[in-house]
Structure 1
Amino acid sequence: MFTINRENLKKSHQTVWFVVDFLMLGLLILNLALIIFDSIYSFAAIQDFFQQSLPAFYNAYHPVHRNFIFYDLIFVSIFLTEFFVRWLYAIRIGLYQRWYFYPFIHWYDLLGCIPTSGMRFLRVLRVISIIYRLHRYGVIDFTKTRLYQFLAFYYEAFMEELSDRIVLKVLSGMQEEVRRGSPLLDRISHDIILPRRDVLVGWISDRVADMANQGYVPNRDALRGYMEDRISDAIRQNPELSRLKLLPIFGNQVRGTLEEAIGDITANIINQVMEDLSSSRNHDFIADLVDVFMPHPRTFDATREPEVSRRQDNEVLINLTLEIIDAIKDQVHHKRWREEL
C-alpha cells in the first residue's frame, strides 16, 4: 500500500485541494463499490439468497436497491459541487487559456455524474486522474505498490510479446523479399551506401587511426622486442644462415649483425606503417581499400563486370543479409520478462 509523503504535501502549497482529493477518492471508491454490489444484487437469485440466508441484511438493503437512483444522486450532488468549485478556482487562477476549457478537459468528471449505468463507470477515470495527480506531485507513490508492480510487469510482458511478434513478422517479410530478389539490396548499395562513400571512408579512416594510436603506440617497445625475438629464432632455424657461424673469426659477429639489421629494418617498417595508419595520411590508403569492395559511382560500370561474378556477389550479399536478419530475429526471441519472472 502506498504511503503519504507529508513533506511534498507541505511543499506543494495545495494541502486543501489534496485533502479534497483524498475525500473525493474515498467517496468515489465507496460509490463504485455500491454500484458494483447493487448491480450484482439486481439478480433475482442473489436477492433470494440474501432473503433466505441473511434476512436482516435483505430487509435493510432492499429499500436502498429500490431507490438506488436517489442514493446515487447524493453522491452525484457532491461530485458536481466539487467539480464546479474546481472550475471556478481554475478560472480564478487562469489555469487554462479560456474559462470554458475546464469541462472539456475534465469531460470524464462531468459525464460520470450522469446517473445511468453506462456513464457511472466513467467515475473510474476520475479515480485514476486523482491518483495520478497525487503521484505527480509526489504526495503518494503508487509505483511501489504490489498491485502496480504486478500490473506493470504483465503489461510490459504483453507489450514485449506483441512488439516481438510484429518485429518478427516484418523481418520474416524482409527475408522473403530478399530471397525473391527484391531490389532492396541494389537500393541499399547504390542509393544509400555508394552516395555516402566519402563519409564512410572518413569514418573508417578515423577508426583505424584511433585503433593504431590506442593499440600500437603504447605497446611499441614490446612489439619491437617480440619481432626481434621471432627474427632471431627464424635465423637460427634457417640452415643457410646458420652456416654463417662457420666462417672463421667473424662468423658469429656477422650473424649477430645480420639479426640486428633485419630486426631493425622489420621494426622500422612496421613502425612506419602503424604511424601512417595512426595519422591523417591513412585516408588515401583506406580509400583505395574501399574502392576494391565498393567502386566509386562515377567509375563503376555494371556492364563491364562479368555476369558470373556479379551473380556470385549478389548471392554473397543476399546470404549475408539473411544471416544478419536471422541474428536480429534471435535477439528478438530473447524474452527479458521471463528472466525477471
Structure 2
Amino acid sequence: MLHINRENLKSSHQLIWFVIDFIMLGLLFINLVFIIWDAIYNFVAVQSLLKEYTPGLQALYHPIHERFIFYDMIFVSLFLGEFFLRWGYAVKARTYDRWYFYPFIHWYDLIGCIPVGSFRFLRILRVISIIYRLHQYKIIDVTSTRAYRFVNFYYEAFMEELSDRIVLKVLSGMQQEVRRGSPLFDRIRQDILFPRREMLSDWISDRIAEAAQEGYVPNRGALRSYLEDRVDNALKQNHELSRLKYLPVVGPTIQETLEEAVGDIVAHVVHQILEDLASSSNHAFVEDIVNVFLPAPGHEEASEADSEALITLIIEVIEAVKAQVRVKYWREDLP
C-alpha cells in the first residue's frame, strides 16, 4: 500500500508543485484507461458484443469513440500546459544552464503528447517520472509497496542470471586462453604474479601458520596420543620386531623400549614439522615453493612440468571463481 508522507509534503518548499504532480497523476491514469478502453472498443467484435448485451453503453460511448481525437486533445492540452508551466519555472529558477535544456531533458513529456498511435502509451513514462520525483523527495515510499518488491525481486534475479552467464562465459574463455599458452598466460605470470611473489609468499605463509595454529596447537595432546597409538599398532604387526620378545630375559623389555622410542621419535618429528609450519620459520619453505612456480624473468626456460603446474593453478583459481559466480543468491530470498 502506497502511503503519502504528509509531514514532508507540508514542510516542503515545493508544495504547489507536488499538488500539481498528484493532479497530473490522476489525469494521466484517467487518460491511459481511456486510451486502453478505446483501443479495445476499436475491435468490431467488442462493438458487436456491447451492442448485443449492453446497447445503452454502446450507444453512449460510440459517439465518444468517433471523436476520440478531440477528447484526447483535451488531455494533451492539459499536459502541454503543465509542461510549459514547468519549463517557464525552470527558466526563472535557472534550474538548467541553458533555457532550452528543459524540453531535451524531459523529452518523454513532449513525445507522449503526440496524439498518434503508440506514442500515446509513452505517457506512462510521465507517470514514472512523477512517481520517481515524489519518491526522491520522500513524499511517497515506492519501495514499501508489494508491486515494487515483486518487480524488484525478479529484476534483480534476471540481472544476476544475466551477469552470471556473461561472467562465466568470459572466465571460460580465459581458461581456454591459458590452456593454449597464449600471451595471456605469459602476462599473468610475468606482469601480475611474478612482481607479487613476495606478497604471495607472505600470504601463503601466514595462512599456513594460521591453519597450523588453529588446528594443531589446541589438539597437541590428542594428536600425540593418536600418533603413539598408530605407531604402537604398526610395530606390533611387524614380524621382525615381534621376534624380539623371544629373547631370554631382556627380549620383552627391548621390544617395549623400542616401541616407545619409535613412537616418541615419530610424534616428535611430526610435532616439530607442525610447530615450524605454525611459526614464521615456514616463510623460507613457502618462498622456495613460490619461486619454483614463478621463476625469475632471466630463467624463463622453466621446465614444462613447472609451466603446466602454474597453468593448472591458474585454471583452478578461475574455476573456483566460476563456482562462486554460479551461486544463486536471489534464491535465498524466495519464500
Tell me the TM-score normalised to structure 1 length: 0.72
- Judging changes above 3 Å, is the alpha-carbon distance between structure 1 residues 289 and 164 closer, same or farther for their aligned structure 2 residues? closer
Q: How far apart, in 1, do the equivalents of 2:61 and 2:290 lie?
A: 86
1:154 aligned residue: 154
2:331 aligned residue: 338
Cα drift, residue 149 of structure 1: 1.8
Answer yes or no: is the 8 Å Cα contact 2:5–2:138 preserved in 1: no
2:265 aligned residue: none
1:77 aligned residue: 77
Aligned Cα RMSD in Å? 4.4
Of residues 327-336 and 144-153 in structure 1, the stretch that sits farther from structure 2 once superposed is: 327-336
Q: Is 1:313 aligned to residue 306 of structure 2?
A: yes
Q: How far apart, in 1, do the equivalents of 2:118 and 2:290 lie?
A: 68
Cα drift, residue 215 of structure 1: 9.2
2:36 aligned residue: 36
Q: How far apart, in 2, do the equivalents of 1:207 and 1:325 lie?
A: 20
Unmatched runs of 5 consecutive residues or more in structure 1: 224-269
AA partner of residue 6 (structure 1): N
Answer yes or no: is the 8 Å Cα contact 1:212–1:278 preserved in 2: yes
Q: Is 1:296 aligned to residue 296 of structure 2?
A: yes
Cα drift, residue 333 of structure 1: 3.2
Q: Is 1:140 aligned to residue 129 of structure 2?
A: no
Q: How far apart, in 2, do the equivalents of 1:72 and 1:24 lie?
A: 15
- Judging changes above 3 Å, is the alpha-carbon distance between structure 1 residues 321 and 212 closer, same or farther for their aligned structure 2 residues? closer
Equivalent position SS for 1:121: helix
Cα-to-partner distance string for 1:258-308 (whole Å, 9 max, x where unaligned)? xxxxxxxxxxxx9x9999999999876764554344333345554xx4xxx
Q: Is 1:91 aligned to residue 70 of structure 2?
A: no
2:248 aligned residue: none
Q: How far apart, in 2, do the equivalents of 1:296 and 1:314 lie?
A: 13
1:249 aligned residue: none
Tell me the TM-score normalised to structure 2 length: 0.73
Cα-to-partner distance string for 1:89-137 (whole Å, 9 max, x where unaligned)? 1122221111211111111111211211232112110000001111111
Cα-to-partner distance string for 1:176-216 (whole Å, 9 max, x where unaligned)? 33444444333322232113324434555666788899999
Of residues 85-94 and 329-338 in structure 1, the stretch that sits farther from structure 2 once superposed is: 329-338
Q: How far apart, in 1, do the equivalents of 2:316 and 2:7 lie?
A: 54
Q: How far apart, in 1, do the equivalents of 2:312 and 2:200 lie?
A: 23
Aligned residues: 332
2:115 aligned residue: 115
2:49 aligned residue: 49
Of residues 19-28 and 93-102 in structure 1, the stretch that sits farther from structure 2 once superposed is: 93-102
Q: How far apart, in 1, do the equivalents of 2:120 and 2:167 lie?
A: 40
Cα-to-partner distance string for 1:132-191 (whole Å, 9 max, x where unaligned)? 111111111122222222222222222222222222322333333344444433332223
List aligned pairs for 1:280-291, cutoff 5 A: 287-288=287-288, 290-291=290-291
List aligned pairs for 1:1-341, cutoff 5 A: 2-10=1-9, 13=12, 14-201=14-201, 203=203, 287-288=287-288, 290-298=290-298, 301-302=301-302, 305=303, 310=304, 312-339=305-332, 340-341=334-335
Cα drift, residue 15 of structure 1: 1.9
Answer yes or no: is the 8 Å Cα contact 1:76–1:113 preserved in 2: yes
